[in-house]
Structure 1
Amino acid sequence: MFELRHEIELFLVEQGHDEYKQMLTDSLWVQKLAYLSDIFTKLNELNLGLQGRDTTIFTMQEKVESTINKLSLWTSLIDKCKYDQLPNLKLFLDTTSSTVNEDLKSDRKCHLQNLSAALRSYFPEISPQWNWVNNPFANHSVDHLLISDQEELIDISCNSRLKSCFAEQSLGDFWANLKDIYHISESAIKYLLPFCTTYLCESRFSAMTNLKTKHRHRLQLEDDLRLKLTEGQPDFQELC
């Protein structure tokens, strides 16, 4: 809406809605609009970053922590009247030579602080006792683990071949490939197993809606959906 505000203003004039048109010519109101457009852009970027097939609780936590720290940085920059992190707001202030209202500055700081607190309430910090799952080759406190598990973790961390595999594979694949060798991998898999996002459910629902169009509304989806979602690759030479 911020980018289309001039077109919207013309539309409102044509429709005779002068009371709404006045908002788009009010500098303070447009500043609020520009600020919100920037914040929603940042939140959309975060939301996209939390999606994906191989997303784990660790990758999600890293992205959320990054956003929370950025919110803290942006709050401090507002005190200095620096708005490079909010491009739409900065563009409006620079092109219109508008002054920064102190009340709006206070509102923005309060909003960013509340947003940071809301993110923290939904994404609490991960207990450091699980850091070994995210990187078994780093030095972590693992005194809470069984002695046998600590020994297996030492074996894994000292294996150069596994270290190379860790750099090349996803976290889930790495631990899954060790389940028949190291008992500790079962604990790692159980921690990684819960779904962190609704991405898988949403992608399957999208596949279903693409298959079951209005022209195929009587279609029984079981077989087609299984074929659509399988990760197995057919052996065409064998089929021929």
Structure 2
Amino acid sequence: MDTKDKILKENLMKRKTDIAYLTDLFTKFNMVNLQLQGDSSNLIKTKFILSAFLSRVKLMKQNIGRGEFSQFPNLSQTSCQEDDVSTYVQHLNALYSDFKSRFEDILTMVIPPWIINPYGDIEETNVIIQEELTELSTNEDLRFSLKTDISNSGCKTTYPLLIPYYGI
């Protein structure tokens, strides 16, 4: 490349840290994307995955701002200038804000306590579905399947009043 296009080589060398940063960041995007795929995906799992990703972006922004690049393995192998660090912090800040506004509906979604712990207190639940939740809380046959996957546990047919309220 030295003899063919010296300008291209110089530009690539100038942007080596940018390429390393974006490579590391897109690796993280791909990991989140893979977690969101599959038959077992649901809104609750999606909320937890997106919340965790936003927390990691916030942490990455703090760490990279103070020169800690361990979350960016490719970037840590380059010599990063202060201007580049500032640009990456701004980018991560914008990314955080964009994700937070784009997925606001999922991130602010209220997950009823009985979905997380169907065997917990039902008194704070809507009166209309308390009867079904009372039965659900004592149903030992469903206890095992609820631990593994609520969407395939039989709740949809056994407790139909829960569907309109919580969209299981």
User: SS at the partner of 1:25?
Assistant: helix
Does the CA-based 8 Å contact 1:149-1:183 persist in structure 2? Answer: no
Does the CA-based 8 Å contact 1:134-1:171 persist in structure 2? Answer: no
Report whether the alignment pairs 1:110 with 2:90. Answer: yes
Q: Where does residue 115 of structure 2 map in the other structure?
A: 133
Rg comparison, structure with higher value: 1
Query: Over aligned residue pairs, what C-alpha RMSD do you find?
Result: 2.4
Match of 1:163 among 143, 146, 150: 143
Identity %: 25
Residues 148-191 of structure 1 show CA distances to partners (whole Å, capped at 9, x for unaligned) of 302321332233332222123x22112xx134432333336x72
Does the CA-based 8 Å contact 1:84-1:90 persist in structure 2? Answer: yes
Residues 56-110 of structure 1 show CA distances to partners (whole Å, capped at 9, x for unaligned) of 0111111111110001111111232111100000122xxxxx3x42222121111
Residues 92-145 of structure 1 show CA distances to partners (whole Å, capped at 9, x for unaligned) of 2xxxxx3x42222121111111111111222222432544335423457844x2
What is the aligned length?
166
Please say which of residues 133-142 and 114-123 is displaced more in the overlay: 133-142
Structure 1 80/24 Cα, relative in aligned 2: closer, same or farther at 3 Å?
same
User: Where in structure 1 are there 5+ consecutive unaligned residues?
Assistant: 1-9, 93-97, 193-240
Report whether the alignment pairs 1:55 with 2:55. Answer: no
Structure 1 46/38 Cα, relative in aligned 2: closer, same or farther at 3 Å?
same
Tell me which amino acid in the other structure corresponds to 2:131.
E
Match of 1:181 among 155, 158, 164: 158
Match of 2:27 among 41, 48, 67: 41
Q: Give TM-score, length-normalised by structure 2.
A: 0.84
Match of 2:167 among 187, 191, 194: 191
Structure 1 154/45 Cα, relative in aligned 2: closer, same or farther at 3 Å?
same
Query: 2-side partners of 1:154 and 1:61: how far apart?
Result: 27
- Runs (4 or more) in structure 1 with deviation over 6 Å come to none
Does the CA-based 8 Å contact 1:129-1:141 persist in structure 2? Answer: no
Q: Where does residue 73 of structure 1 map in the other structure?
A: 59
